[in-house]
Amino acid sequence: MFKKVIIAEDLDAISLGIEQVLKDLDIVDFQHSKYCDDAFLKIRAAIQKNEPYDLLISDLSFKTNHREVKIANGDELVQKVRELQPDIKIIAYSVEDKNYRIKSLFDNAEIDAFVLKGLNSIEELKKAIHITSTSDQKFISPEVASALQEKNNFEIDDLDIQILKHLSSGTPQDEIIQIFKDLGIKPNSKSAMEKRLSKLKDFFKANNTVQLVFIAKDLGII
């Protein structure tokens, strides 16, 4: 079983619940951070002291305060932690239920488990801790297990997302093209833009750009 655990979770009500789980499992050496930055620093410090954590339980969405932060959300945190300490086990604990995002966590940050916050998620969290502590198996909440089977997420690449973000902030297509040209981003013609949009609309079954951006927002892609 894990000896030393760190929790990254901003909502105090929830971290209270998580701590209860750890106590139930007789894990007493745990820390708790309300900010991603803070969690990252603690993890790094622990490595330097040669007392590294062996489990990170992280939320994904964090409230954005006035304060300046380096790491804004859980996605970035787990990514950076994975790079910093490849052997740490990572459990994501979140309400996020969009296949697209969950899959990318497993693919990119190589998280070990994804527990969906829900009506009985405490039990699932316990199970995830058990499984990841005793083996290298992955765990994912049943409700969203389909996320991993999802064949090829039809490769929505980074550029697509950039385009969608620009659109969502009211930039007309022409201007986006200009921005790409200025930044030296390669496919930067009117046609390329239109082709990409048309592919996206096709994929998401959107009639027009308005609906496309709405769907993308709804899916948490932007």
Candidates 25-33, 42-50, 107-115, 195-203: pick the segment binding DNA (CB under 7 A).
195-203
Residue 214 touches a second copy, criterion: CB under 8 A: yes
CB of 155 to DNA, least distance (A): 11
Of 65-73, 97-105, 106-114, 203-211, the window that binds DNA (rule: CB under 7 A) is 203-211
- Note whether 11 binds a second copy by CB under 8 A: yes
* Residue 189 binds which of DNA, a second copy, none (CB < 5-8 A, kind-dependent): DNA
Q: Which helix (H) or strand (E) holds 17?
A: helix 12-24
Is there binding between residue 206 and a second copy (CB under 8 A)? Answer: yes
Tell me if 90 sits within 8 A of 112, measured CB to CB: yes
Site map for a second copy, 33-52, x if CB under 8 A?
A: -x------------------
Query: Taking CB under 7 A as the rule, does residue 179 contact DNA?
Result: no
Tokens 């527990």, located at residue: 115
The label of the residue with tokens 């309400």 reads 95
Site membership for DNA, residue 197 (CB under 7 A): yes
Q: Does 143 bind DNA (CB under 7 A)?
A: no
Q: How far apart are CA 215 and CA 209, in angstroms?
A: 10
Report the relative pairing of strands 55-58 and 113-116 from DSSP bridges: unpaired
Taking CB within 5 to 8 Å according to partner kind, which of a second copy, DNA, none is near residue 31? none
H-helix or E-strand containing 14?
helix 12-24
CB of 170 to DNA, least distance (A): 9
What is the phi-psi region of residue 11: left when phi exceeds 0, alpha when psi lies from -120 to 50, beta otherwise?
Answer: beta
Which letter, b or e, does each residue of 1-26 get, where b requires 16 or more Cβ atoms within 10 Å of its Cβ? Answer: ebeebbbbbbeeebbebbbebbeebe
Q: Please, what is the minimum distance in Å from the beta carbon of residue 221 to DNA? A: 17
Q: For binding to DNA (CB under 7 A), which residues are involved?
A: 172-174, 186-192, 194-195, 197-198, 201, 208-210
